[in-house]
Structure 1
Amino acid sequence: MSDRMTPISFEDLMQWIITENKKYGTIFGVNKFFKKQDSKVLEIFNESIETPFGPAAGPHTQLAQNIIAAYLSGCRFFELKTVQTLDGEDLPVSKPCISAKDEGYNVEWSTELRVPEAYEEYVKAWFALKILSKELELGSSDGFIFNMSVGYDFEGISSPKIDKFIMGLKDASKTKIWEECRTYILNNIEKFENIDKVYVDSISPKVCSSITLSTLHGCPPQEIQRIASYLINEKKLNTYVKCNPTLLGYEFARKTLDNMGYDYISFDEHHFNDDLQFSDAIVMFKYLQDLAKKQELSFGVKLTNTFPVEIKNNELPGEEMYMSGKALYPLSIELAHRLSSEFEGNLKISYSGGADVFNINEIFETGIWPITIATTLLKVGGYERNFQIAENLNQLEYSDKYVMDNEKLKKLKEKSVVDIHHIKAIKPMPNRKVTDKVPLTDCFMASCQKGCPISQDIPEYIRLVGEDKHLEALKVIVEKNPLPFITGTICSHACMSKCSRTFYDESVNIRNVKLQAAEKAYEDLMKEISQTSKSDVKIAVVGGGTTGLSAAYFLAKEGLDVTIFEKRDSLGGIVKHVIPEFRMSSDAIQNDIDLICKLGVKIELNSQKTSVQQLKEEGYKYILFATGAWEPGMLDIEGGNVINVIHFLEKLRNKDEELKIGKNVVVIGGGNTAMDAARAAKRADGVENVYIVYRRTKRYMPADEEELHLALEDGVEFKELLAPVKISNGALICKVMKLGEPDESGRRKPIATDETVEILADTIIAAVGEKINTTMFEENNIKVNDRGFVQVEPTTLETNIEKVYVAGDALRGPSTVVEGIADATKFARTIVKKEKNCDLQMNLPKVSTNIEIPIAKKGILKMAIYDKNESSRCLECSTICEFCVDVCPNRANVAIKVKGNKAHQIVHIDKMCNECGNCEAFCPYNSAPYKEKFTLFSTEKDFKDSENPGFVLINEEEKIIKIRLKNQAQEVKLENNDTSIPKEIENMIWALIQDYSYMF
């Protein structure tokens, strides 16, 4: 497998386009085409542009098919990927070279093709767009603009190689590739409905009248001015000069990124000191502006070029990478405002730097255009994201006047540093991959479901709620989850941390959808539930918290006789007795308890039965301990009393009059329970200030990000980087900490300094993790390990005592509700297998096979605040995935239809891949599709040089292939029905040969 792309000839390119469109209504995987419906256009360089945006010089303008895909989806301005004298195999590009999971990074800067190859790609793309715009009636054939980009010094740009490139794009009429394109169309005119010879002859060979100059960091101003002057005076080109964010100065860039949560991005001052300085830039730009005017040309700046940062944690190979996307946005907008202010709005600005659907209209309305994008197109949805952008821009009023509105620009730059779409989340982005490796076929799956400890059928119940089928949705939920109200309110929602929607805007609010189903269908569900007949087998569940309740539910559903023994006067455990009422009402908790009890579960409250021997003597064949973590965590602070968080919350919930809180409350700890305590204290009478003290920063607190935001909204003050030392005279004395290198968990170690601070404290609450009271287990001779956790057989949860089981907190410490349900399910499954010799009976829903609905959602960004129907935002990943197809700029991952499969299958096309690695970032599996998916090779050499599973067709007439599966290669004649090839793989090969021959 090579990391070099093979350009497609114009004939093969057009054959691919014609055939795919005719058969499937798509072109290079683009599912919908943007058609310009009105006559609104903008004029620039004496050329018309229908929508003033398109792909930036980068991965989306390197190959002809990339440019075509961008045009079809709505782009009309194309900044061609930069060329330089160092090209092809001589250009060292580390691979993988792109990381775009959140803000973007890359380690590549110009085309990986040879300059003559790049030139041909751009001409082929130009000619193809002229044909497609007319044939498919997508808009004016003169409604798009190509802009060439060159670098990086005068010697290279004035060299014969680059000069030929520049002059060829100014006028391609005398070139071999132009004639090749023209001849093919004329010789195949019958394949088109709206193309004739007159039209073909009218296609302008003047591909580019403008150029963007890109210079490396450290290029002196004299060199930049010399190159730009040359391009204006000698080449007669409308000229843009790319500007680096380093013009803003180190202090501004560092402070801005730190304040927006990007404090982990590492860079120093050397680029800021070595690059072009702002004052020099202003003088130069005014000179070049005057120079262009004398030549009756245009001059402007392109904002912004690369922002170099240090590579940490092996994000990409090498020592330095270039930042893009949402972290670059505030810097680019700030620079636009500063430059525009200097020129009183009379400087043409072309923009790139974190533009996306959420800000592009506002950028355009300041007077900045054309606008180019890259990072957003590298995310899930890919080229399809252009469609929404194009439609939105098309709603705006276009003006021919190219003057900045500096007041709007000022407001936009102020908004950019607080905009939710561009500030960094408090907590690091969770790992969205599952542990499984991607299969060769049927690789779609719902990662939200994989992330859920009980594997809830999430896309299915979300779809049902979206269809107002709340009862059906609730039935789906309670097959695996007997606590829809509790988990619909306080679940730790591991599913949402895996939700692929996050790569668009924000996770689908899965938890809220569950609660919606519960609230709207609970009464109807209760009417349908009836007590089941019970077997003679008696089962005891010690502990009436969420884990014990769940175990009883699953057992009772199977007709087993189960009794819960609860030491308190009501069921519900921590959730009922500790979690604040404002978080979850007692009535909602009781709904879940009533649902379980209606199945005929027996309850003994105020019970002290914990003896295995006694319970067995009373006839209980199986015993489950699900007693929770109630033992206070230890916090040793000199000089005063510290109240445990569980005791505090329980007293507060019970309105214990003996609890005296005072004005100032300090909570020590950074977990979800600490947030509950702080928010509850904030609501208590007489409390004025509530502080959370933690020895690291918020980024490293174990609490969910949602809980941190809720505490901040309630007015809780976070005292970060503080370690408690002692209590003295009504104050907590803390040592100031600083962050060191990351520990094994990836969190940066807190290191003590000599500085101390005092925090007024009438009440100090320790929220440092609860413990397990092991006395009961030890009294029953149940083995406990040296960490204080009960030892069980992992698959059955059976202890060293036969038919005695343990679930929940005692296995691992304080656990989430849904982890407890998972344990309860495992226990119930064990008992049912023993007693009934079968698995738990669950009426699981059928996964939707309608792929058209999720395909229609691709590329459409909308946060929940804009659309309350979460079903419209759910990507239905259990039905279709194709993320690797979406995010590949080169279209090297394709989705094909295969006989016998309702869902598409994914094939990797070796010759079109440059191993950028982007598909690996977004594949929900722990895999790299460009290495691990079934691959179509063009030549035997490519096949031999690779380790990918895949095949090469070596004799088309006799259908002989070479195929590699599980690292074993063999030659096969397909028509012999060779049984060594799995049927699903053989079907894929036949589909490619018979229905997708244009890919060969």
Structure 2
Amino acid sequence: MSDIMRPMSFAHLMNWILTEHHDQGTIFGVSKIVEHKDGQARPIFQEKIESPFGPAAGPHTQLAQNLIAAYAGGSRFFEVKTVQIMDGDELSKCVAKPCITAEDECYNCEWSTELYVPQAFAEYVKAWFACKLLAKEYGLGDPDGFVFNMSVGYDLAGIQSEKIDKYLNEMRDASNTEVWKECMDWALNNLDRFQNVDEAYVKAITPRISESVTISTLHGCPPDEIERIANHLIQNKGFNTFIKCNPTLLGYEFARKTLDSLGFDYIQFDDHHFLEDLQFCDAVPMLRRLMALCAEKGLEFGVKLTNTFPVDVAAGELPSEEMYMSGRSLYPLTLSLAGKLSHEFDGKLRISYSGGADYHNIKALVDCGIWPVTMATTMLKSGGYNRLAQIAAQFDDKENGAFQGVDVAKLDALLAQLFADCHYQKPMKPLPSRKLDKKVPLIDCFTAPCRNGCPIEQDIPAYLMLVNAGKYEEALEVITHRNALPFITGTICSHRCQDKCMRNAYEESVYIRTQKLKAAEGGFSALLPKLKAGAPVSGKKVAVIGGGPAGMSAAYFLGRAGVDVTIFERKDSLGGIVRHVIPAFRIPASAIDNDVKLMEAMGAKVVLNTEVKSAQELFDQGYTHVIFATGAWNKGSAGLEYGEEMNVIEFLEKAKKAPESLQLGENVVVIGGGNTAMDAARAAKRIPGVKKVSLVYRRTKRYMPADQEELELALEDGVEFRELLAPVGVKDGVLTCHEMELGAPDATGRRTPVDTGRVVEVPACTVITAVGEKVDTALYTANGLAVDNRGKAVVNAETLESSIKNVFVIGDGQKGPGTVVEAIAGATKAAKAIQAFDTEKYVEKNVNADYQAPLAKRGILCNDCKSCDEIRCLGCATVCETCTEVCPNRANVAVWVPGKRMRQIIHVDGMCNECGNCATFCPYDSRPYKDKFTLFWSEEDFNNSENEGFLRLEGDLTRVRLGGQVKEYHVEDASCGLYEDLRKLICAVYANYSYLLK
């Protein structure tokens, strides 16, 4: 497809709105429609606004439907997208696509409307007229209770040009324009479609679209040019005026220090914008002069804080060299600038705010006297326009007076809390990829990413729903169908499922692991007596060598399948690394014991204190299959040039069983950055006599392999992190290290450590090495198993059978040190290869029977997840539709198709400018704007696209592109030859969603 947007006619817009609202109760997909009924409003620009917020000049104010959707969500102040003399095709060619990515903080490389200025004007007029009609028809509030604020740039010559001057004049009075006539004629000719709108009301709609303007200037615009623009708009045009300021007013050092201290140290920028942009010392007298001028003219004046922040494209985030940052990383800068200006002007300078505003901070901003507030980044995230309803609900307090100044004391208090507020602290570790390793299908793309992110594909939505209902036994039954170790995984699982959780785009993942443990503890006593081995299977007898998580899981599943199975364990109890190495402060022995009981309930036998090294010996004893599940217990090494190092496994075993036997000295150094290193460091802190534990790693915390929560726990325990140090050797109580620095980022943004040539000494009575443990290659070769160049057994990828028939290798010994749930996944494969058993029993239970229940949660953020009783699951297995929520233009639409359990996604080509935001949030490794079945409005657009999709032709033919082939079909004919699901989808659009068609 191309990135050309095709604005809808007013008739098309209104038909879409009225039909959709009648059929579904929504407006352009916005289900949380806000009504203002109390009559309260804040005066501004001789107008009034029923709520002090709305969309910023950006992706949500470019097209009429965007503005209408924002109005439906409760917005009442609209900063329409910036216009400038360069427009349309000329501007579009300057904007790299995709141009937006808002995974966490937001980046964009677009700045003005991509429409021609007359088109943009028409969009704003159509939106204005439509909102007036909707206010009256649906009782959404006072028809005069909202304001459109223009945004223009970027130099005086452009603003004075005939094109922009005409725009300014017609936005002030649109009564003599063609688009106004189009809107008026349609409304008067379609009064029969309204219940509450009559002729008198329509004719009374004011054509005065805007009385105010926000001046947007490019970085580097000289202060005298900014003032000339403002003077022109105030003196010559008579507009209420805001001057948009850049965060560069704070200075490079302040911005760098602030972002670094909040964890955004990876964001790269230099000082050139700070040197070229308006300086604070120049801004203050200019603003004083403009304030005085507006007061003289009887106009309102203020600053708009702030513009987006220019940074370097360092990791391929967008296809440009520079991009503009917004969102939560911009909030501390913008708020700081608000504080600086408010002190300078004693709170008398009005501030229109836009810089990371969202549900978490907007009420506090407005309470400081900072309003109106406009937003973009939060609306680009999951929930989209539906996030506005929760924001609107914060303003039911009737505090709707005129601007009385900024309360500087309140603002100072807000700033004082800033650096302790978790909402603006970037996690130490980069966000893990939220994408699934598969492409989005054309049909039935709804999925539960948590389930797909789990190595054993647990039926997570199913058991979350049961836990939420207090049905713990049923939840545990669902869990144990795929997971043999619910207590262990409920306590220490690395929870890759949570990395994929779609709730991450709201605040943080659902605490899936916590809910699993809740089910295990709540349902164990009831479920355990009901568990039993499967019907005996003849001819199969399995020996499992090793009683760690992998071996226990294999025995559990084989026993459930009716196979005679015995575990041989060399130690005195089952549990492997989890039992004997992982510290008790991380997992209690009782949790492991409970999982052992579940395994034994399935009929598995256990032989302890017995080391078996020969598979043949077991075959000679009558066993038909042997599974090696021996783990990776061999020592790794940090490769010190001199001095002694203690292996981490050896240390942790002693620390767990006999801590009194350890004489570590006062200063302990742990070398490594993984979860095991964190365990060792935390365990060392608990050994008597140890005063200081340092963790040495050659990179920074951001690049350590340990999970975020393990890093946080180590820090809470007082472990000192010595970053960017490469160990050389230890002697006389000192670990000598080379000091490193991070070099230039590679294409992924990862920065390689480079030796600085400097040497650092770290006190070290004991050095514990926590680096890659190794498999026991000798065990495999002694049994005749083929091994690879890393010493690991060569196995069939699907069955994990080794080169020796009926000998299997699972767990850490097969793939290297891994997670418990990965061990369960391997055990499942091997057990299934020996005796097939079902794991799909509860798949259907992942789906919530009530389609509306998950939808009701969309757009609702939690302010304190750790204290929240609600599980917060979004029910993705029932309804995803994220691509429909995050699209500013509403170009992705969910439609019901007869015979389909869930709604299907249609992509509307003419409404898309390929911003790419839906690709960021789609759980698949895909781009919905490219990869979903597309509806085209014209033959030109169909021909200019490669998307699979359809175009309605004259008569009853439909042109379809599928698999690279273009054919024409009579889609009403079930035997036309088109893939049936797609045929039904097209027919559903024609029959029930005809408003999608041009």
Q: Which residue number corresponds to residue 222 of structure 1?
A: 224
Contact 2:533 2:561 in 1 (8 A): no
Matches within 5 A, 1:874-889: 874-889=873-888
Cα distance in 2, alignment partners of residues 257 and 59 from structure 1: 25
Cα distance in 1, alignment partners of residues 276 and 129 from structure 2: 42
Q: Which residue number corresponds to residue 617 of structure 1?
A: 620
Matches within 5 A, 1:509-528: 509-528=511-530
AA at the equivalent of 1:170: R
Structure 2 gap ranges (5+): none
Q: 2:776 aligns with which of 767, 773, 776?
A: 773
Measured at CA, do residues 779 and 743 of structure 1 come closer, stay the same or move farther in structure 2, by a change above 3 Å? farther
Q: Which residue number corresponds to residue 914 of structure 1?
A: 913
Cα distance in 2, alignment partners of residues 507 and 10 from structure 1: 41
CA-based RMSD of the aligned residues comes to: 1.4
Q: Which moved more, 1:399-408 or 1:674-683?
A: 399-408
Q: Does 1:657 align with 2:660?
A: yes
Q: Which residue number corresponds to residue 24 of structure 2?
A: 24
Q: 2:986 aligns with which of 985, 989, 994?
A: 989
TM-score by length of 1: 0.98
Q: Which residue number corresponds to residue 729 of structure 2?
A: 726
Q: Which moved more, 1:481-490 or 1:606-615?
A: 606-615
Q: 1:586 aligns with which of 569, 585, 589?
A: 589
Cα distance in 1, alignment partners of residues 840 and 503 from structure 2: 32
Matches within 5 A, 1:507-906: 507-536=509-538, 537-742=540-745, 747-833=750-836, 842-846=841-845, 847-862=847-862, 865=865, 868-871=868-871, 873-906=872-905
Give 1:844 deviation, angstroms.
4.4
Contact 1:221 1:281 in 2 (8 A): yes
Q: Which moved more, 1:194-203 or 1:501-510?
A: 194-203
Q: 2:487 aligns with which of 485, 499, 517?
A: 485
SS at match of 2:328: helix
SS at match of 2:429: coil
Give 1:733 deviation, angstroms.
1.6
Contact 1:69 1:383 in 2 (8 A): yes
Matches within 5 A, 1:952-963: 952-955=951-954, 958-963=955-960
Cα distance in 1, alignment partners of residues 129 and 240 from structure 2: 22
Q: Which residue number corresponds to residue 453 of structure 1?
A: 455
SS at match of 1:326: coil
Contact 1:156 1:162 in 2 (8 A): yes
Q: Which residue number corresponds to residue 963 of structure 2?
A: 966
Q: Does 1:305 align with 2:307?
A: yes
AA at the equivalent of 2:810: A
Q: 2:329 aligns with which of 324, 327, 330?
A: 327
Give 1:604 deviation, angstroms.
0.6
Give 1:401 deviation, angstroms.
4.0
Cα distance in 1, alignment partners of residues 175 and 779 from structure 2: 89
Matches within 5 A, 1:41-56: 41-56=41-56
Q: Which moved more, 1:520-529 or 1:196-205?
A: 196-205
Give 1:661 deviation, angstroms.
2.1
Q: 1:201 aligns with which of 200, 203, 220?
A: 203
Give 1:569 deviation, angstroms.
0.8
Give 1:684 deviation, angstroms.
2.2
Measured at CA, do residues 927 and 401 of structure 1 come closer, stay the same or move farther in structure 2, by a change above 3 Å? closer
Cα distance in 2, alignment partners of residues 395 and 959 from structure 1: 56
Cα distance in 2, alignment partners of residues 505 and 841 from structure 1: 31
AA at the equivalent of 2:636: G
Give 1:904 deviation, angstroms.
0.5
AA at the equivalent of 2:384: G
Q: Which residue number corresponds to residue 167 of structure 2?
A: 165
Cα distance in 1, alignment partners of residues 384 and 137 from structure 2: 24
Matches within 5 A, 1:234-383: 234-383=236-385
AA at the equivalent of 2:68: I
Give 1:842 deviation, angstroms.
4.4
Structure 1 gap ranges (5+): none
Matches within 5 A, 1:7-18: 7-18=7-18
Contact 2:535 2:561 in 1 (8 A): no
Give 1:533 deviation, angstroms.
4.6
Q: Which residue number corresponds to residue 124 of structure 1?
A: 126
Cα distance in 1, alignment partners of residues 840 and 986 from structure 2: 39
Give 1:156 deviation, angstroms.
0.7
Cα distance in 1, alignment partners of residues 590 and 747 from structure 2: 43
SS at match of 2:584: coil
SS at match of 1:582: coil
Q: Which moved more, 1:275-284 or 1:656-665?
A: 656-665
Cα distance in 2, alignment partners of residues 761 and 775 from structure 1: 34
AA at the equivalent of 1:895: A
Q: 1:149 aligns with which of 148, 151, 158?
A: 151
Measured at CA, do residues 753 and 307 of structure 1 come closer, stay the same or move farther in structure 2, by a change above 3 Å? same
Residues 65-89 of structure 1, C-alpha deviations (whole Å, 9 max, x = no match): 0000000011110000000111101
Q: Does 1:422 align with 2:438?
A: no
Contact 2:544 2:626 in 1 (8 A): yes
Contact 1:496 1:508 in 2 (8 A): yes
Cα distance in 1, alignment partners of residues 733 and 357 from structure 2: 52
Residues 749-786 of structure 1, C-alpha deviations (whole Å, 9 max, x = no match): 22112222222222211101211122221111111112
Measured at CA, do residues 455 and 708 of structure 1 come closer, stay the same or move farther in structure 2, by a change above 3 Å? same
SS at match of 1:732: strand
Give 1:608 deviation, angstroms.
2.0
TM-score by length of 2: 0.98
Contact 1:82 1:151 in 2 (8 A): yes
Q: Which moved more, 1:80-89 or 1:857-866?
A: 857-866
Measured at CA, do residues 566 and 841 of structure 1 come closer, stay the same or move farther in structure 2, by a change above 3 Å? farther
Cα distance in 1, alignment partners of residues 340 and 894 from structure 2: 46
Cα distance in 2, alignment partners of residues 842 and 899 from structure 1: 26
Measured at CA, do residues 791 and 619 of structure 1 come closer, stay the same or move farther in structure 2, by a change above 3 Å? same
Cα distance in 1, alignment partners of residues 6 and 777 from structure 2: 66
Give 1:460 deviation, angstroms.
1.1
Give 1:32 deviation, angstroms.
2.1
Give 1:743 deviation, angstroms.
6.4
SS at match of 2:953: strand
Percent identity, aligned pairs only? 55
Cα distance in 1, alignment partners of residues 125 and 341 from structure 2: 34
Q: Which residue number corresponds to residue 501 of structure 1?
A: 503
Contact 1:93 1:108 in 2 (8 A): yes
Contact 1:672 1:704 in 2 (8 A): yes
Q: Which residue number corresponds to residue 117 of structure 2?
A: 115
Residues 879-918 of structure 1, C-alpha deviations (whole Å, 9 max, x = no match): 1111110011000100011111121100001111111111
Residues 623-668 of structure 1, C-alpha deviations (whole Å, 9 max, x = no match): 0000001111022324432111111111011124321122221111
Q: Which moved more, 1:769-778 or 1:372-381?
A: 769-778
Give 1:839 deviation, angstroms.
5.2
Contact 2:638 2:671 in 1 (8 A): no
Contact 1:864 1:870 in 2 (8 A): no
Cα distance in 2, alignment partners of residues 650 and 896 from structure 1: 58
Cα distance in 2, alignment partners of residues 744 and 822 from structure 1: 32
Give 1:97 deviation, angstroms.
0.8
Give 1:141 deviation, angstroms.
0.8
Contact 1:51 1:394 in 2 (8 A): no
Q: Which moved more, 1:743-752 or 1:631-640?
A: 743-752
Q: Which residue number corresponds to residue 470 of structure 1?
A: 472
AA at the equivalent of 1:245: P
AA at the equivalent of 2:372: P
Give 1:866 deviation, angstroms.
6.0
